Copies of this chain bind each other. A is one copy, B any other.
Amino acid sequence: MKISILGYGTIGSGVYEIAKANKIEIVKVLDLRDLDVPELTKDFNDVLNSDSDTVVETMGGEHPAYEFVKQCLEAGKNVVTSNKALVAAFGEDLIAAAKAHNVQFLFEASVGGGIPIIHVITECLRCDEITRVSGILNGTTNYILTQMDLNGVSFEEALKEAQRLGYAEADPSADVDGWDTCRKTAILGWLISGHMPDYKMIPTEGITKITKADIDSAKAEGKVIKLLGVVEKTPDGLRASVKPTVIGRDNELYAVSDVMNAILVESKYMGKSMYYGPGAGKLPTAAAVIADVLRTTPAAQG
């Protein structure tokens, strides 16, 4: 098994580390920076023309990730990605390209970080009928809400602490405005309905307007506020939303704190099941990428 890696950032370097530990051969690493990595190249064509069976895309963002991934699939290489922006925007197109070229396009790490939720939904619950999926899908906002709840700090204070700890970026809007959760919610909606919702059409509310008073009022009833992404099958089709939601102890997501993520699945035969773990981070996310790499089969290669 031979792989190349597009983007040697946090996740990409984690993939490199775990691939080596699992004796997976790394052919090329694409990154524009001058890095001390023996497999480094700054030219995408070196990856495209290499003998990698599978290309791992950990650059993030829609472009040029989309163009690179599409060319790899068309060249008969499997692609594994952790890039939710890519999957939410182009998932259907890329799956079609993978099928047309008899290769695989896998994206376990794009939702829930290390949590194997994509595999659970597409494989383990394949015989079941999933009716609703609700999840805490963003560690940054869950950390902020947890701090507001436990320590009585304001949104701004909790955000600053999250930035200090490296849980939130300098520009935190993708997280706190709910767009990260929104993209992951769109992907979950795709998996349970077979049709990718336009993530820009999902009603999305972030956590920037949550006040200490909101938290206290939930707390007085023994409840907490969580930013939930929800997809649900209804007689009128798929319904999706992202918003801060007051939940009580009877909700399995109640105790999911700090940067942890969890996804609650409701289905006809299983009833309720929940999958919990680190929703981000170098090694958990990279482990999910490598799990996908190990799922690719030479038989599937074009």
Q: With an 8 A cutoff between CB atoms, is A207 at the interface?
A: no
Q: A272-294 interface mask toward B, CB cutoff 8 Å, 1 = contact, 0 = none?
A: 11111110010110111011001
How extensive is the interface on chain A, given as a class? 35 or more
Given A119-B124, A127-B294; A274-B276 close (CB under 8 Å):
yes
Q: How far is the CB of A57 from chain B (nearest CB, A)?
A: 18
The answer on a CB contact under 8 Å between B127 and A269 is no
Task: Indicate with 1 or 0, residue by residue over A44-59, a CB within 8 angstroms of chain B CB atoms.
Answer: 0000000000000000
A123 CB–B CB distance under 8 Å: yes
Query: Are A294 and B119 in contact (CB-based, < 8 A)?
Result: no
Residue of B nearest to A117 (CB): B124
Known contacts A249-B255, A283-B269; is A127 also within 8 Å of B18 by CB? Answer: yes
Report if A200 contacts B (CB, 8 A): no
The reply to whether A278 and B270 contact each other, CB–CB distance below 8 Å, is yes
On chain B, the residues within 8 Å of A271 by CB distance are 114, 277-278, 281, 283-284
Which chain B residue shows the least CB distance to A112?
B273
Question: Are B273 and A278 closer than 8 Å at their CB atoms?
Answer: yes
- Verify A276–B276 contact, CB threshold 8 A: yes
The complex places the Cα of A254 from the Cα of B291 at a distance, in Å, of: 29
A38 → chain B, closest Cβ, in Å? 21
- Whether A111 is near chain B, meaning CB under 8 Å from some CB there, is no
A287 adjacent to B127 (CB under 8 Å):
yes
User: Chain B residues near A269 (CB, 8 Å)?
Assistant: 18, 114, 283-284, 286-287
A93 is an interface residue with CB less than 8 A from chain B: no
- Report 15 cross-chain contacts, Cβ distance below 8 Å, ordered by A residue: A18-B127, A114-B273, A119-B119, A123-B295, A124-B291, A125-B287, A125-B291, A126-B291, A255-B255, A270-B287, A271-B277, A271-B284, A272-B278, A273-B277, A273-B278
